[in-house]
Amino acid sequence: MAEKLNDLIVARTEKTTPANADKIPILDSADTHKFRWLSWSGLLAWLSTAFDQAGTASAAVSAHVAAVDPHPIYTTAAEAAAAAPVQSVAGRTGAINLAIGDVAALQTALDGKAPAAHNQAASTITDFAEAVDDRVAALLVAGANVTLSYNDATNTLTVSATGGGSYTDEQAQDAVGAILTDSATVDFTYDDAANTITAAAKAQQSITADASGLKLAGDAAAPGNSRLYGTDGAGAKGWFAQPVAPVQSVAGKTGTITLAAADIAGLGSASTLNVGTTAGTVAAGDHAHAGTYDPAGTASSAVSTHAALTQAHGISAFGATLVDDASAPAARTTLGLGSAATLSVGTAANNLVQLDSSAKLPAVDGSQLTGLPSAGAPSVVTVTSAAGVANINTAGSSEVVAKLTLSENVTSIALQSVAQVCNIKFEVTQPANSNFAFPVTVWPNGTIVAAHYLYPATAGASATTVFWWSTTDHGATARVESNAPFSISRTPTITAGAITVDAAGISDVTINLALTANVSSIALQNVPADCRMRFVVTQSGGPWSIAASAWPAGTIVQPHALAPTGTTVIEWETRDGGTSALARAPAAFAPALALLPLSPLIPLPAGRWFDQGLLSAAHGTLIGVAGRVDVCGLLRPFDVAINQAGVDVTTAVAAATGRVVIYAATSAGVPGPLLYLGTEDLDLSTVGFKFHTLAFTFQAGKLYYVGFIHGGTAVIRAIQGYSLPAFGLASSTSAAPLSVLSQTVTYPNAPVEFAFDASAHLAARAAPSVRMRVA
């Protein structure tokens, strides 16, 4: 061949208009498929022969198009319009409804036919009077004893009445006189002859009125307050004073009263018993005691018989003096009892105080006690520490002030000679320019400690913290309180990705951190030996992240996630002033899975793209389903920040949309909280790469689930199942392993929590290839 095949097909520009002399290489099937040249003019000649053998097609087409009506089997619209007898009505076509205004001068013509108002004289109306007569005669209806006679010929109407004559005045007067009836105060008199009626008021009989009010004639007294009308014992009627009841109530009862023994005060239980010798009765004595109960009541008889009484019953002479006492006070005097005999035992007012079972006084108010010994001044002890131990000898004192100026970290307090009841006030001073530790663990065993810290010293001044230690059992158990608060709170701001937190030497610190940007550095200051910081993290915009490398050197960071909404609490804790520490959060990621390959395996430069694929295999495609969320795992051995994430559309569908989603993994390794959802719909109605702009960091060693929520049926590039971890088989006969986690929701409402269900959320299909660009 004159030219190499490569020279014929490589580095040649395209020719859009072939010439007859141009040639096309073809394989000759009749000659062992050798290359032959086919000229462009030869190709045209063959096509003309193959598709217009007679060579007349062009002329036939031209003649056909030129014809007035090439298909006369139907009438064209133009022909029908031209043949219609009426083309339009009032300038309109189609279904037409005419109004007066559509006809020129029609309204003017109609206005000339009749006046706007019209008055018709009766004389101009034929048979008007006859019609009125007939109408009136028809309207009138004859009543009782009335006759109507209408003569149409003479145009007259006669009204006749029948009956017994008229009703006379006499009859009316008699009827009125008959119906008038006398009342209690008026009498009526009818004089038939004179034709008059007289009404007369009856004379007042027993009611009179004067300045004191109304009363009856002959009343004995006038009305007044608290008076009743009636008659007295002599039969005189009138107003009498209202009597006062001599008894208002009996035993607190009114009305018809029935008394019982309980209603009578002072009766003993024996008062309701009968006399007898059986159970439930009282015995009757057989001694007459005539002298003692002498009806005459003579003193000499009572005294003489009293002596006999003491002899008869064996009562001593002292007893006899008690028996004749007339009252309880007299009897107490006889017995020699004081006023305490009538008091009750207790601790209330006017009670006698009784010792308890241990011979001790109960709790009473002793503020008015006098003569008590003085408590004395508290014992003051200056304390020093050695090798971290502060020794304090209270010398049996119950009130001690211990003054301790720190010169080293104190690890324990040792107490000696502690009284049973002992209160120690510790004054612990942190010298200026120092930061010695005094942790909550320094106190003796058995001490209940309220959380505390030391007031920190400043560059130019010391600070003193006061503790109160108290015991009631020689220190076996005790309680300590402090004037230092439990914790402090800090609210740092993010500046160029960095925050600074001053612990101020306090062991418990709360940091309220509102993320408005990614945090790349956390600087901690004045951290005591034992310190716990709680970072209360919220998101504003974002989602933002705290890089694992942001924590101070020596911090072990457990994998965790920051919730995109709500609050995440991260605890940072140290036991050596921050030399080593642990950062952890409840929203923990799943640990790195040894069997899950890492992707990508090497650091990628800024601007490089990657997806969730694990193997270097060609991508397939995935047809979307509206509302379906498809995700697969992504795990990196190092932090990767991205600034774009999207999908490549291979087959567009009108109005199709979608959004990228990123989920954190739970401690069980399954999708958990939603970390990122595209803030706007991606337009999948055209092919090409469609992406979100974002700022997101995948942290090293943490498992994420990245995918796509479909808003339509557009086709996007996908990662084949053999490039993804396998999640088992759907059945024993499955042809492909389960490789994608999926669920269907209402677009675009991606679940805030994936709420993974192994029985429903696994599928054997390709996963969306979410292309992410390294920032």
Do residues 383 and 391 touch, judged by C-beta distance below 8 A?
Answer: yes
- Residue 350 in tokens: 């006017």
Do residues 443 and 469 touch, judged by C-beta distance below 8 A?
Answer: yes
Contacts for 537 with CB less than 8 Å, ≥ 6 apart: 513, 514, 515, 546, 562, 567, 568, 569, 570
Do residues 662 and 675 touch, judged by C-beta distance below 8 A?
Answer: yes
| Residue 366: half-sphere exposure toward Cβ, Cα within 13 Å | 9
Is the backbone peptide bond immediately before 751 cis, with ω within 30 degrees of 0? no
- Residue 613 in tokens: 């694929």
What pLDDT, on the 0 to 100 scale, is given for residue 674? 95
Dmax (CA) of the chain: 181
Angle at CA of residue 721, ends 719 and 723, nearest 5° = 65
What pLDDT, on the 0 to 100 scale, is given for residue 81? 66
- The residue behind tokens 């006061």 is 466
Cα separation, 633 vs 635, whole angstroms: 7
- Residue 199 in tokens: 């009404």
Do residues 726 and 737 touch, judged by C-beta distance below 8 A?
Answer: yes
What pLDDT, on the 0 to 100 scale, is given for residue 211? 61
Cα separation, 326 vs 347, whole angstroms: 33
What pLDDT, on the 0 to 100 scale, is given for residue 282? 64
- Residue 63 in tokens: 């003649």
* Residues facing residue 751 across a β-bridge: none
DSSP class of residue 731? Answer: S
Q: Are strands 521-525 and 498-502 parallel, antiparallel or unpaired?
A: parallel
Question: Is the C-alpha dihedral spanning 283, 288, 294, 299 positive or negative?
Answer: negative
Computed on alpha carbons and rounded to an integer, the radius of gyration of the chain in Å comes to 62
Closest-CA residue to 769 (of 615, 611, 610, 598): 611
For the stretch 291-297, contacts whose Cβ atoms lie closer than 8 Å and that sit 24 or more positions apart, written own/partner, are none
Do residues 509 and 490 touch, judged by C-beta distance below 8 A?
Answer: yes
Do residues 590 and 703 touch, judged by C-beta distance below 8 A?
Answer: yes
Please state, in angstroms and as integers, the Cα–Cα distance from residue 271 to each residue in 266, 267, 268, 275, following that order. 10, 6, 6, 10
Cα separation, 428 vs 189, whole angstroms: 122
Cα separation, 316 vs 334, whole angstroms: 14
Cα separation, 663 vs 718, whole angstroms: 19
Is the backbone peptide bond immediately before 600 cis, with ω within 30 degrees of 0? yes
Closest-CA residue to 681 (of 689, 691, 673, 671): 691
Is the backbone peptide bond immediately before 748 cis, with ω within 30 degrees of 0? yes
Do residues 188 and 197 touch, judged by C-beta distance below 8 A?
Answer: yes
543 burial type by CB count under 10 A (0-12 exposed, 13-18 middle, 19+ buried):
buried
Is the backbone peptide bond immediately before 671 cis, with ω within 30 degrees of 0? no
E strands, 222-355, are 227-231, 237-241, 274-275, 281-282
Query: What residue spans of 115-247 are helical by DSSP H?
Result: 128-139, 169-179
Mean pLDDT in each 10-residue stretch from start to end of the chain (775 residues)?
A: 49 71 79 77 78 61 62 60 70 78 76 67 77 82 82 85 70 82 80 85 60 61 68 75 69 75 67 69 58 48 52 64 77 78 78 76 71 68 92 92 93 93 94 87 83 75 91 92 78 95 86 93 90 90 86 86 82 90 68 46 87 89 97 88 97 97 88 95 97 92 92 96 88 92 96 91 94 96
Please state, in angstroms and as integers, the Cα–Cα distance from residue 160 to each residue in 142, 163, 341, following that order. 9, 11, 122
- Residue 658 in tokens: 């979608």
Closest-CA residue to 533 (of 501, 499, 573, 561): 573
| Residue 272: half-sphere exposure toward Cβ, Cα within 13 Å | 10
Tell which phi-psi region holds residue 165, choosing left (phi > 0), alpha (psi between -120 and 50) or beta. left
- The residue behind tokens 């921050």 is 578
Phi, psi of 310 (to 5 degrees): -65, -35
For the stretch 18-23, contacts whose Cβ atoms lie closer than 8 Å and that sit 24 or more positions apart, written own/partner, are 20/44
Please state, in angstroms and as integers, the Cα–Cα distance from residue 272 to each residue in 250, 263, 266, 269, 285, following that order. 20, 12, 12, 6, 18
Cα separation, 29 vs 378, whole angstroms: 124
What pLDDT, on the 0 to 100 scale, is given for residue 1? 42
Contacts for 62 with CB less than 8 Å, ≥ 6 apart: none
Cα separation, 757 vs 137, whole angstroms: 99
- The residue behind tokens 């740092």 is 492
- The residue behind tokens 């006399």 is 275
Do residues 769 and 611 touch, judged by C-beta distance below 8 A?
Answer: yes
Do residues 43 and 31 touch, judged by C-beta distance below 8 A?
Answer: no
SS3 per residue for 547-567: CHHHCCCCEEECCECCCCCCE
Domain residue spans in the chain?
Answer: 20-53, 379-482, 489-584, 609-774
What pLDDT, on the 0 to 100 scale, is given for residue 632? 94
What is residue 5's three-state secondary structure? Answer: helix
Do residues 621 and 647 touch, judged by C-beta distance below 8 A?
Answer: no
Contacts for 207 with CB less than 8 Å, ≥ 6 apart: 214, 215, 216, 217
Any idea of the CA torsion for 332, 334, 337, 341, to the nearest 10 degrees?
A: -20
What pLDDT, on the 0 to 100 scale, is given for residue 147? 85
Q: How far is CA 254 from the centre of its chain?
A: 59
Cα separation, 589 vs 572, whole angstroms: 17
Class of domain 609-774: mainly beta
Angle at CA of residue 145, ends 141 and 149, nearest 5° = 50
What pLDDT, on the 0 to 100 scale, is given for residue 769? 97
